[in-house]
Chain A
Amino acid sequence: MNIFVFVKRVPDTESKIRINHETNSIDEEGLNFVLSPYDEYAMEEALRIREAKGGKVTVLSVGPEETRIVLKKCLAMGADEAVLIKEDTPELYDGLRTAKIIAHAMKTTFPDYSLLLFGKQAVGGDNAQVPVMVAALLGLPQANVVTKLEIEGNMAIAHREIEGASEKVNAPLPAVITAQKGLNEPRYETLKGIMMAKRKEIPVLTLHDLGLDEDTLVSQLELVKLESPPARQAGTVIEDEPEAAARRMVEFLRNEAKVV
C-alpha cells in the first residue's frame, strides 16, 4: 500500500480570529498554528493501515515554509516521508487552486499511489472542497466524511456520515478518503518518534519545480470583504428560585422570542 496523507497548518481552534482590514486578511500575529484536527485522524488511519497491510506513508502539504512544523509532527507520529509543496500565496479560500496543485503533483511526481487520505476539511477556510476536487481531477472514486474504514484487497469499504445516518460505500483503490472525528483515536508522538523526525529531511518542491504555471492557478473567487460576526448583545440573566426561573424562561421563549 502506497498511502499519501494530505495535511494543512491552521490556527488552533481556541484562537481568536482578528481581521486586518487594511490587507483584507486574517491577522496571523500571535496565532498558534497546529496540524488541522481532522488531518490527525487521517494520519492515524494511514499508520494503522500500514501496520496491518504493510507499505509506506507519505505526508504532503501545500503551504508556506512554517508548515514544516506540522510535517515534523506527522513524521513523529510515524510517517515514513514528508514533502512540502511550497506555496507562499496568502490564503485565497479557493479550494480549486490547492486541488490543482495536489492533483498535478500526484500525476507528475508521485504517480504510484493506492490511497489518498485527507481530513474532511481544514479548520479555517472550512471549504471542505480540496479532497473531492482532487478525486475529480484524478478521476478517482471518493468516500467523504468517513467514520469507519476497512481495506479488503483492492477495495475500500467506508462508512460516511450523513444527516442522522451513515452511507456504506465500496470503492476500488486507488480512492480518495476523508477522515471525520470518530474514525479513530490519534496516537501521541513518542520520544523516539520525535528524535527520528528531527533527523529526517523534508524535501521541498516549488510550483515551478512541479512545472505548474501560475496562470492556470488564478483563483476565480474575489475576496471582497472580511468582517467579524455581528456581536451578540448579552440578554437577561436571572438568578431565581428554580420554579420561577423556569417559568420566566418559558415566558421569554413564548412571548418575547416567539420560538416555541
Chain B
Amino acid sequence: MILVYIEVREGKVKKSSLEVLSEAKRRGDELDQEVFAVLVGHGIESLAQEVGQYGAKKVIALDSPLLSSYSPSGYAYALAGLCKELAPGIIFFTATSMGKDLAPRLAAQLGVSLASDCIQTAVKDGSLEVKRPIYAGKAFATFRFKSSPIMATLRPNVFPLGPPVDGQGDAEKREVVVPEDQVRDRVDEVLKEEGIELDVTEAEIIVSGGRGLKGPENFELLRELTGILPHSAVGASRSAVDAGWIDHQHQVGQTGKTVSPNLYMAFGISGAIQHMAGMSSSKVIVAVNKDAEAPIFKVADFGIVGDLFQVLPLLKEELKKVLSE
C-alpha cells in the first residue's frame, strides 16, 4: 500500500498534496498497490471527500485537540503509530515547508532513509525509482531503496494533478491519543507576511528581478506584472536580496529556492551559475537584459536585449491586452 500524507493549511487541502496523491495513484496502478491518504489535525474529517476524489481508496483523518495546530514531533508521533499499524510499502509527502519538516522526523522514527524533493518517480523491474536534483539542480541523482517503507518527498508544481473522479474513497476518522510531552514544538501563531500572496515555490509564473532593477522601488514594476498574471509571484536574484532590495523569501537560486514554474521571467538578471541552478528546470524562460552577452540568454527561450525600464511597462500593456481577450 502507498500512504500519502495530505497537508492541511488554514482548513484547506494543499494542492501539492493532491499532486502527490495523483502521482501515487499512477505508480500504485503500475505496482498493483492501493493508495491510502492520511490527514492530521483536529476537526478536519470533512476534507476527506475532496481527497478521495484523487484516487485514495481510504482517507484517514488522525484527530486530536492537541494536533489542532502543527507540531512536527506531535504529527510525526501520530503518523508513526499509523505506519506501524498499516505497514505501508511506500510513504509520500509533498516537499513543502511542512513536508520537509515532518517527513525526516517520521523517517528517523521509522528508521528508514528518505529521498527529498524528488522530481520524477518511476517503476523499474517492479520497484520504485526516484530522481532528485542535487547541488540545487546542477546535477540529478536517481535512487532505489533497499528498505521498507520507501519514503520520499515530491516537489510541488512538478507532478500533474489527476482528474477528479466521483465518489471514491472511504473516510475514516480516528481519535489519537498523543502524550503532552510529544507535542513540544507546536506552532503558536502564524504570522502572515505583508504583500506575499503566493510563495515562489508554488507559483505557476515567476516574475524575477536582479541587479539590473537598480533599486528596491523598482520591484514595484514586477509587482504590477504579478498583479495581472494569475498564480504568479515575485522572485529575485541573490544580488538583489543581498543588496537589501527585497526579502530573502523571494530569492531563487542555490542559497534561495529551487523552482520549476511554467514560466520564469527574468528582468535584469545576468544569470550567475548559482541562480541558473535554481530556475533552469522552469518550463519556459524569458529574459530582458541590456547586456547581449548575459548568460541568462543561453537558457532563455525568448530574450530581449534592451532597457527593462522601457520594456516592462510595454510588456504589461501587451499582456493586459491578451489576457482580456
Q: Which of B209-239 contact A (CB under 8 A)?
A: 229
**Bound CA–CA A62/B228 (angstroms):** 49
Residues in B whose Cβ lies below 8 Å from that of A162: 96-98, 190
Residues in B whose Cβ lies below 8 Å from that of A243: 314
A144 within 8 A of B: yes
A150 within 8 A of B: no
Q: Interface with B: A14-22, A50-58, A65-73, A207-215, which one?
A: A14-22
Chain B: CB-nearest residue to A99? B108
Residues in A whose Cβ lies below 8 Å from that of B272: 14
Contact yes or no, A96 B302, CB < 8 A = no
Q: How large is the interface on B (under 10, 10 to 19, 20 to 34, 35 or more residues)?
A: 35 or more
Given A126-B116, A164-B198, A232-B285, do A142 and B299 touch, yes or no (CB 8 Å)? no
**Bound CA–CA A124/B205 (angstroms):** 26
A175 within 8 A of B: yes
Contact yes or no, B140 A226, CB < 8 A = yes
Contact yes or no, B185 A129, CB < 8 A = no
Given A94-B113, A165-B192, A242-B314, do A132 and B304 touch, yes or no (CB 8 Å)? no
Q: Which of A187-244 contact B (CB under 8 A)?
A: 219-229, 232, 234-240, 242-243
A254 within 8 A of B: yes
**Bound CA–CA A76/B314 (angstroms):** 52
A137 within 8 A of B: yes
Contact yes or no, B198 A133, CB < 8 A = no
Contact yes or no, B138 A16, CB < 8 A = yes
B307 within 8 A of A: yes
Write out, one digit per residue, whether chain A residues 96-139 have a CB within 8 A of any chain B CB (1) or not (0): 11010000000000000000000000011111111011111100
Chain B: CB-nearest residue to A247? B318
Which positions in A face B, CB cutoff 8 Å? 11, 13-17, 19, 26, 37-38, 93-97, 99, 123-130, 132-137, 141-145, 147, 159-172, 175, 180-182, 219-229, 232, 234-240, 242-243, 245-250, 252-254, 257, 259-260
Which positions in B face A, CB cutoff 8 Å? 70, 72-73, 76, 96-98, 100-101, 104-109, 111-117, 129, 132-147, 184-193, 196-199, 201-202, 205, 229, 241, 247-249, 251, 253-256, 258, 262-263, 272-274, 280-281, 283-286, 288, 292, 297-307, 310-311, 314-315, 317-319, 321-323
Contacts A163-B96, A165-B191, A221-B115 given; 4 further ones with Cβ under 8 A?
Answer: A17-B135, A170-B186, A219-B113, A260-B319
